[in-house]
């Protein structure tokens, strides 16, 4: 494992897929390699691989925002179900003629390699720094995380049919349908319940040593995986769904869990690929090498692209998007893991499946893994790297307040680099220029490529991205506005419509008057007042300098800001409540006397 970690530096320099490196190290250490380690326990390798895959799937779900499902749920789930069946069928037909095996055995081979590998796809897309267009990237990530249960179900079903010497008619039997419904249904049910349970459990952990908090979270995920599998459900699907549910909820100190899971996912990938590499016997490969290479070619160039094309026909995918999605069909540890099952089930010549699949995975990692980045550029699927963001660290503050320390390298074409003033709400606390740190009060005007650091709540980071890390567009400060109303709209109507709290509407104040008071009679375009999970924004000024149009932004509730306000109210009592009823700008010294032309100002 230490060697695998060290060789990652070399492989990144040459662009080699790291997972292929880990697999190669396992081969070199195995019985036909330099170390000659004798390891032939398929059950041990399957156990290691199952736990590793559960960890990887939970983490991949945890890191998948719900926004991705809104963008790509339908096409991704189509690929994860019908796509797997089509790929298995097409590959099985080719395997029947190439190897001369029976139809059940051929379809078993096709089912084993039918799913894309979550570890390979997530690593190449995330750790590899490849930024794809949102629709395509979300589709690939959701598909790779959700398609393993279907491949596992098909593999186990076909193994049972072969062992029982059943006919193909049994494939359409009632028992098969009920088994499928049971596995998928229990997997989804346990995943949803487990995800809510994990988030609740983590919220209840108080005064726990920081080292135990992430361990407890990951252990809870493995419990969900194990219990679901023991009761006849798909534990892998449960682990993935639990990650999605928990990751999209307000989990306390979620960054602790994420940091820990980064290391655990690396450990899981390395351990899984090394164990599977140790289990392989390369001296047995020559007997099946040629037909295995041809079958890998059929899978990569025919079966996967054709299945993807058929599944994405009902959706609005361009031809190059469909082509790239078909190309990113990497096979990896999941396929090798499933290839162990025929031998464990006592099927005659079980090593045949393992050897064929191992060769096919090597070809996939070599051909597809090495060419994903060039293919993304050729098909115009990749986006420019996020050069502006330097660092983003979540902070644990007293009273459950969640803030982030965000660092940016100022984009040369940003509004700030062009000489615009920094909005009052987005002023940095420290600036680094030429390797030296300065206060914002002493450095003077900010320049391109300065590194700035500031504190912000999570819901403000996207706006900061637009200010510091993006080329300026005069519509940027309004890009998140969902509704617009006239400035003459009564605040009482907005309070009733959006459930705003802490606003005194007894004097029939208008939205224009409310914003005018909030900014001491000098509102400017982009000024914002945050009330709970709603932002009230200055969209347009009238001829007299008053607020003519007001924007409404409804976002996720910011528990950090809410907890901070609750703490202030507890300590400040009626005085703070009075400030909320009749807002005044918070003075921070001479720097707050900025002229009215400040862009994006926000309270």
- 588 HSE (CA, 13 A, CB side): 11
CA distances from 332 to 123, 191, 276, 366, 375 (A): 11, 24, 10, 11, 19
Domain ranges of the chain: 2-14+42-378, 389-473, 481-592
pLDDT at 561 exceeding the cut of 50: no
Give 189-201 pLDDT, tens digit per residue. Answer: 999 999 999 999 8
Please answer whether residues 198 and 224 qualify as being in contact, where contact means their C-beta atoms are separated by less than 8 angstroms: yes
Distance in angstroms (rounded) separating the CA atoms of residues 274 and 288:
22
pLDDT at 596 exceeding the cut of 50: no
Distance in angstroms (rounded) separating the CA atoms of residues 435 and 449:
12
Q: How many helical (H) and strand (E) elements, i.e. helices and strands, does the chain have?
A: 25, 9
Please answer whether residues 511 and 494 qualify as being in contact, where contact means their C-beta atoms are separated by less than 8 angstroms: yes
Distance in angstroms (rounded) separating the CA atoms of residues 383 and 460:
23
Q: How does 410-439 read in b/e, with b if 16+ C-beta sit within 10 Å?
A: bbeebbbbeebbbbbbbbbeebbeeeeeee
In this prediction, residue 582 has a pLDDT band, given cuts at 50, 70 and 90, of very low
CA distances from 411 to 252, 390, 415, 423 (A): 33, 11, 9, 16
389-473 CATH, one of 3.30.70.1450, 3.10.530.10, 3.40.50.620, 1.10.150.120: 3.30.70.1450
Structure letter (DSSP) for residue 132: B
Q: Which long-range contacts (CB under 8 A, 24 or more apart) does 594-597 make?
A: 594/421, 594/424, 595/421, 596/522, 596/524, 597/421, 597/524
The tokens for 95 are 């395997």
CA dihedral 302, 305, 309, 312 (to 10 degrees): 150
* pLDDT at res. 363: 92
In this prediction, residue 597 has a pLDDT band, given cuts at 50, 70 and 90, of very low
CA distances from 179 to 131, 158, 391 (A): 39, 13, 47
pTM above 0.95, yes or no: no
Give 532-550 pLDDT, tens digit per residue. Answer: 778 787 877 777 777 888 8
Distance in angstroms (rounded) separating the CA atoms of residues 576 and 593:
23
2-14+42-378 CATH, one of 3.90.1150.10, 1.20.1530.20, 3.90.850.10, 1.20.1250.20: 1.20.1530.20
* pLDDT at res. 306: 95
Distance, CA of 204 to chain centre = 25
Q: What angle do CA 78, 319, 64 make, to 5 degrees?
A: 45
* pLDDT at res. 14: 53
Helix (H) or strand (E) holding 14: helix 2-14
Interval 285-313 mean pLDDT: 94
Mean pLDDT of the chain: 79
Angle, helix 254-279 to helix 212-230, in steps of 10 degrees: 60
- 574 HSE (CA, 13 A, CB side): 0
Contacts of 248 (CB under 8 A, 6+ apart): 65, 66
Q: How many other CB atoms are found less than 10 A from the CB of residue 385? A: 10
CATH 3.30.465.10, applies to 481-592: yes
Please answer whether residues 130 and 124 qualify as being in contact, where contact means their C-beta atoms are separated by less than 8 angstroms: yes
Q: To the nearest whole percent, how much of the chain has pLDDT over 90?
A: 23
Three-state SS across 398-439?
HHHCEEEEEEEECCCCCCCCCCCCCCHHHCCCEEEECCEEEC
* pLDDT at res. 132: 75
Q: To the nearest whole percent, how much of the chain has pLDDT over 70?
A: 78
Distance in angstroms (rounded) separating the CA atoms of residues 233 and 329:
26
* pLDDT at res. 424: 65
pLDDT at 478 exceeding the cut of 60: no
Give 35-77 pLDDT, tens digit per residue. Answer: 888 888 888 999 998 999 899 889 888 888 887 888 788 999 9
- Of 174-178, 297-301, 347-351, which range is least confident? 174-178
The tokens for 354 are 């393992």
Give 414-461 pLDDT, tens digit per residue. Answer: 777 777 767 666 778 888 988 888 887 788 888 888 888 888 776 677
CA dihedral 603, 386, 328, 265 (to 10 degrees): -80
Which residue shows structure tokens 């925002």?
65
Q: Is the dihedral of CA 382, 383, 384, 387 positive or negative?
A: negative
Helix (H) or strand (E) holding 291: helix 289-298
């Amino acid at each position: 494992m230490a060697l695998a970690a060290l060789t990652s530096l070399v492989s990144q320099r040459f662009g080699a897929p790291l997972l292929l490196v880990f697999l190669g190290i396992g081969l070199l250490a195995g019985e036909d390699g330099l170390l000659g380690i004798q390891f032939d326990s398929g059950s041990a390798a399957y156990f290691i691989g199952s736990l590793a895959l559960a960890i990887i799937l939970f983490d991949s779900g945890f890191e998948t925002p719900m926004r991705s499902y809104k963008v790509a749920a339908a096409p991704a789930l189509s690929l994860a179900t019908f796509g797997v069946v089509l790929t298995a069928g097409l590959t099985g037909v080719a395997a029947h003629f190439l190897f001369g095996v029976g139809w059940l055995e051929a379809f078993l081979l096709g089912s084993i390699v039918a799913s894309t590998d979550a570890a390979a796809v997530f690593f190449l897309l995330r750790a590899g720094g490849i930024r794809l267009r949102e629709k395509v990237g979300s589709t690939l990530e959701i598909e790779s995380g959700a398609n393993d249960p279907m491949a596992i179900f098909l593999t186990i079903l076909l193994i049972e049919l072969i062992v029982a010497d059943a006919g193909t008619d049994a494939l359409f039997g009632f028992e098969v349908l009920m088994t499928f419904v049971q596995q998928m249904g229990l997997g989804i049910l346990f995943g949803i319940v487990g995800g809510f349970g994990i988030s609740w459990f983590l919220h209840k952990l108080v005064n726990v040593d920081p080292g135990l908090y992430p361990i407890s979270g990951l252990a809870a995920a493995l419990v969900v995986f194990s219990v679901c599998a023991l009761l006849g459900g798909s534990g892998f699907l449960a682990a993935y769904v639990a990650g999605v549910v928990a990751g999209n909820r307000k989990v306390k100190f979620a960054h602790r869990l994420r940091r820990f899971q980064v290391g655990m996912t690396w450990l899981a990938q390395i351990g899984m690929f090394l164990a599977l590499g140790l289990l392989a016997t390369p001296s047995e490969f020559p007997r099946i090498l040629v037909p295995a290479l041809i079958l890998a070619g059929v899978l990569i160039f025919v079966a996967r692209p054709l299945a993807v094309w058929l599944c994405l026909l009902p959706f609005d995918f361009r031809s190059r998007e469909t082509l790239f999605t078909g190309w990113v069909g990497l096979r990896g540890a999941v396929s090798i893991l499933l290839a162990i099952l025929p031998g464990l089930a006592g099927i005659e010549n079980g090593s045949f499946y393992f050897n064929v699949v191992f060769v096919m995975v090597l070809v996939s990692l070599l051909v597809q893994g090495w060419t994903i980045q060039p293919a993304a550029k050729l098909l115009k699927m990749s986006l420019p790297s996020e050069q502006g963001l330097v660092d983003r660290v979540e902070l644990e503050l007293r009273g459950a307040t969640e803030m982030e320390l965000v660092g940016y390298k100022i984009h040369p074409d940003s509004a700030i680099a062009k000489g615009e003033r920094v909005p009052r709400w987005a002023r940095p606390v420290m600036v680094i220029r030429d390797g030296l740190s300065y206060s914002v009060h002493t450095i003077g005007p900010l320049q391109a490529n300065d590194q700035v650091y500031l504190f912000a709540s999570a819901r403000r980071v996207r706006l900061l991205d637009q200010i510091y890390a993006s080329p300026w567009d005069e519509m940027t400060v309004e890009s998140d506005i969902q509704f617009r109303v006239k400035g003459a709209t009564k605040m009482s109507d907005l309070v009733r419509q959006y459930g705003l709290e802490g606003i005194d509407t007894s004097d029939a104040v208008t939205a224009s008057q409310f914003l005018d008071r909030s900014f001491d009679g000098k509102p400017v375009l982009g000024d914002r007042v945050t009330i709970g999970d709603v932002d009230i924004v200055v969209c347009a000024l009238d001829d007299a300098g008053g607020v003519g149009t007001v924007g409404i932004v409804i976002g996720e509730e910011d528990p950090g800001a809410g907890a901070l306000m609750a703490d202030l109210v507890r300590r400040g009592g009626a005085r703070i409540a009075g400030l909320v009823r009749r807002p005044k700008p918070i003075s921070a010294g001479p720097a707050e006397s900025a002229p009215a032309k400040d862009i994006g100002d926000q309270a």
